[in-house]
Amino acid sequence: MESFVSTVVLHSKDDEFRILSLLTVKVQTSFITALAQFYDPLLRSFLLQDFHLTLTLEEFKGFLGFSMKGRIPYNMIGQVPKVEKLSLALQNPIPTIMTNWNKRHSLSGFQRVYLEGEAKRLLVSRDWDVIGNVLALLIYGQVLFQTYEGFIDSTAISIFWAMWKENKSTVYLLLADVFYSLHHRHEKKSGILTFCLPLLYKWLTSHVFISNTLISDMSSTNWAQTLVSLTERDITWYRSKLNGEEIIIICGSFPNVPLIGSKGCISYNPMLATRQFGYPMLGKYEDCELEEMILNDMDAKDPALLYKIVKSWEKIHNKFLELGKRDGVSRAKVARLGKENEELQLTLQQP
């Protein structure tokens, strides 16, 4: 399977299909039980011993290895392409598509077995772009945005179409679903976390472990012990590959960044991640800068808020000048290093 996915990614013309490479990430699923315990729903951040870590769009984009330039967030909520149009993406006759268009409860979509059969058939003709489309539908419907086992529903299909035909990006969706799922689970005190585990795993391990390090198998308890023992000195805060990135700080009239996910909308606070971007921390933030925004059930209860969220992405702000010089070291770290240097000098001066 790994070699098959790698071959499809290699031959596909669209770099968004690099998302398929997440299938090859070896994830210790026990990590999420431990990590979720450190999630702070008010800050949308993970609070550890003497520091916090925040998921960011820019880091997610970097792990996936494709550009968001010119690609706006998914905003086609509830918009599903006509079955006839899907025949273009799958290169399948319309009657065949219609025959395999099924319903499960209130949702329409394709059975997984049908798409898997198409992938095997297309592999013979080596039509990589179409194989990539079929695999993308399978991944969206069964790994990233699953509602029912064995069924690729209209939400996953809508997301696929937005990416394939409307030049939207999945990065925003993936980040939104992590925050939304963690927040929902924390609010309910239970529940299943439904988001892209491989991406969150890559994010966490990139900060906690040295690159390319073989990570020993750990239980949830072992992971919790590892995380709780971490200090800011143990963290890889900043990676140079973020140099030159346009960091999205604020959208529209929101004080932070509103994200549209597959199940709801939620805001996140990139200003809390200045150290991860290589900038110094700017001190205490105002409560209004960290204002929470949650929209459940999409536009059913508050269409005005959903409209505001969608429109906010037409006016993106960044604060490079206010963040200061990019050096990868925070003020707190500079102060700590200065104190350690003084202590070292005192030690050396002692007889």
Structural domain spans, the chain? 2-75+170-334, 83-166
SS3 204: helix
**pLDDT at residue number 157:** 93
**pLDDT at residue number 139:** 85
| Mean pLDDT along residues 257-281 | 88
What's at 239, amino acid-wise? R
Residue 320 has pLDDT above 60, yes or no: no
DSSP state at residue 290: G
Model confidence at 3, pLDDT cuts 50, 70, 90, reads: low
Residue 147 has pLDDT above 60, yes or no: yes
Alpha-carbon span 80 to 163, nearest angstrom: 13
In percent, the amount of the chain with pLDDT more than 90 equals 36
| Mean pLDDT along residues 11-25 | 65
Residue 348 has pLDDT above 80, yes or no: no
In percent, the amount of the chain with pLDDT more than 70 equals 81
pTM of the model: 0.83
Alpha-carbon span 293 to 39, nearest angstrom: 17
Name the average pLDDT for the chain: 81
Q: Which of 34-38, 272-276, 332-336 is predicted least confidently? A: 332-336
Model confidence at 330, pLDDT cuts 50, 70, 90, reads: very low
CA 306-271-72 angle, to 5 degrees, is 40
What distance lies between CA 14 and its chain's CA centroid? 19
Kindly list the distances between the CA atom of residue 172 and the CA atoms of 55, 78, 91, 257, 343, in Å, as whole numbers in the listed order. 11, 17, 28, 10, 45
Q: Which of 42-46, 126-130, 330-334 is predicted least confidently? A: 330-334
